Amino acid sequence: MKAKPKVISIVGARPQFIKLAPLVKELSHRFRHRIIHTGQHFDNNMSSIFFRQLRLPKPYINLGISGGTHGAMTGRMLARVEKVLLYESPDLVLVYGDTNSTLAGALAAAKLAIPVVHIEAGMRSFVSGMPEEINRKLTDHVSEILFCPTPVSVKNLKAEGIKKKIVYSGDVMYELLKASRPAITANQKALKKLGVREESEYLLLTVHRAATVDSETNLRVLVDIISELPLPTLFPVHPRARKRLKQFKLWRELDQIDRLFLVEPLSYLDALTAARYAYAVLTDSGGLQKEALFLGTPVLTLREETEWIETLKLGNNLVGLDKAKVLKLLQVKPSVKSMVYRVKNKKPSHIIAEEIARFLQRRLPRGD
Ligand code: UD1
């Protein structure tokens, strides 16, 4: 009997572990599935905790590449991933989202003529210099199958003239969140551990994007906003944000703000639990802004634009780093329409695995 096709998932950063999780079962069932971890995120609470909590198989290899400039990081990943792919010779490679690990994985595979599958394709912020926008555009343009989470992402790809296989799969992050709902409800006790107690009596804040945290001016504005927030605020600090806050000598000022709970980055379950029971979520994260809406929690997005255009009709408030807007919106609880992204009753993971299987069947020589 012929061996199952070999497919490799390349991941490296926190949001990719989340996007991979709902796919693991389907992929392992149909293919010989291996995980390459680039090492982009390496702290326990940025990486290992997600593997444990989301029951991801141990990576086949961790390349240990992180930090440095975008070019240096991506370049080192490209060279090392290429080596592994040459050795492993997979039938197909999956990449996820829009990080430097995504781009390095996609480029390494495409240049070896290994078909690339992009999970969460077609997302666009239309901000040209943004690192994630560069990564996702280039990745889309070298991919063979593009799985889109939303109807708008399908349109974006068509508008760019992409002729490869574009599939509206629905959102794998929604799939995981839906499956995690009972665990989120059962995890309410985690709020106490995090320092916030009462449902709806606190805010959840996260920031990590270069545009927010790499600019001293923007970080100062953020600290000023935080100092006037009307409710106790839980702030899990991303390593990039922590580094910049210290570098710009803003950490002490932040630490002295009353009713601000500075904590380490949260596990998937604790983050969603904190989002579910918050009065509102303030974030510059692409993932968390829609996860909050999935959970029915109001969102103030600390950016001027969003890739998740559909969320704007459902209560996503693009407030940028505008203190007056933030404070005004928090006076009365903003309304929110809970949202879902899915294709009828089909699971995105199932649609994705089936389509990949069909693609490989057409492409690979038949076994006896
Ligand atoms: C990356 C992605 C972004 C994604 C985000 C989620 C790119 C361009 N950006 O940004 O799309 O939304 O991850 O978190 O790929 N660090 C640690 N410990 C860690 C990880 C990072 O200390 O576990 C440090 C790094 O050394 C670096 C900084 O934090 O100095 C930023 O990490 P980096 O991997 O450059 O990207 P993120 O800002 O996390």
pLDDT tens digits, residue range 38-77? 999 999 999 999 999 999 999 999 999 999 999 999 999 9
Distance 240 CA to ligand 1 centre (A): 6
The arithmetic mean of pLDDT across residues 196-209, rounded, is 90
| Residue 208 located in a structural domain | yes
| Residue 270 located in a structural domain | yes
| Residue 337 located in a structural domain | no
The arithmetic mean of pLDDT across residues 345-356, rounded, is 94
Q: Who contacts 219 (Cβ-Cβ below 8 Å, separation ≥6)?
A: 212, 213, 244, 245, 248, 250
Q: Spell out the alpha helix ranges (H) of the chain.
A: 14-20, 24-30, 49-53, 70-88, 100-111, 131-142, 151-159, 172-186, 190-194, 210-213, 216-227, 239-247, 251-255, 268-277, 286-294, 323-331, 348-363
So which residues are the catalytic ones? 208
Residue 70 Cα: closest atom of ligand 1? 8
pLDDT in tens, 235-246: 999 999 999 999
Whether residue 182 sits in one domain with residue 71? no
The rounded percent of the chain whose pLDDT value lies above 70 is 97
CB atoms within 10 A of CB 238: 22
The candidate with the shortest Cα–Cα distance to 288, out of 353, 203, 349, is 203
| Residue 213 located in a structural domain | yes
The arithmetic mean of pLDDT across residues 144-154, rounded, is 96
Q: Which residues have any ligand 1 atom within 6 Å of their CB?
A: 13-15, 40-43, 46, 66-67, 98-100, 131-132, 208, 238-240, 243
| Residue 318 located in a structural domain | yes
Residue 46 Cα: closest atom of ligand 1? 23
Q: Give the pLDDT score at 335.
A: 78
| Residue 338 located in a structural domain | no
Q: The domain that contains 145 carries what CATH number? A: 3.40.50.2000
For residue 194, the enclosing domain spans 178-331
Q: Are 249 and 255 spatial neighbours (Cβ–Cβ below 8 Å)?
A: no
| Residue 47 located in a structural domain | yes
| Residue 148 located in a structural domain | yes
pLDDT greater than 70 at residue 341: no
Structural domains counted in the chain? 2
pLDDT greater than 60 at residue 368: no
Q: What is the mean pLDDT of the chain?
A: 94
Q: Give the pLDDT score at 365.
A: 73
Q: Give the pLDDT score at 367.
A: 52
Distance 95 CA to ligand 1 centre (A): 17
Task: Return the best residue to mutate from 99, 100, 123, 303 for the ligand 1 pocket (most ligand atoms within 8 A of CB).
Answer: 99
- How far, in Å, are 31, 46, 57, 352 from residue 148 at the CA level? 22, 25, 25, 10
Whether residue 211 sits in one domain with residue 167? no
SS3 assignment for 149-216: CCHHHHHHHHHCCCCCEEEECCCHHHHHHHHHHHHHHHCCCHHHHHCCCCCCCCEEEECCCHHHHCCH
Q: Please report where in the chains the tokens 């969320």 appear, as a residue.
A: 311
Whether residue 188 sits in one domain with residue 68? no
pLDDT greater than 60 at residue 208: yes
The candidate with the shortest Cα–Cα distance to 318, out of 334, 308, 333, 305, is 305
* Higher pLDDT pick, 342 / 354: 354
Whether residue 157 sits in one domain with residue 142? yes
Main-chain dihedrals φ then ψ at residue 283, nearest 5 degrees: -155, 155
Whether residue 306 sits in one domain with residue 207? yes
CA angle 308, 305, 18 (to 5 degrees): 40
Q: Give the pLDDT score at 197.
A: 75
Distance 309 CA to ligand 1 centre (A): 24
Q: Give the pLDDT score at 310.
A: 87
pLDDT greater than 80 at residue 366: no
pLDDT in tens, 250-293: 999 999 999 999 999 999 999 999 999 999 999 999 999 999 99
The rounded percent of the chain whose pLDDT value lies above 90 is 88
The arithmetic mean of pLDDT across residues 312-317, rounded, is 85
pLDDT greater than 50 at residue 117: yes
pLDDT greater than 50 at residue 21: yes
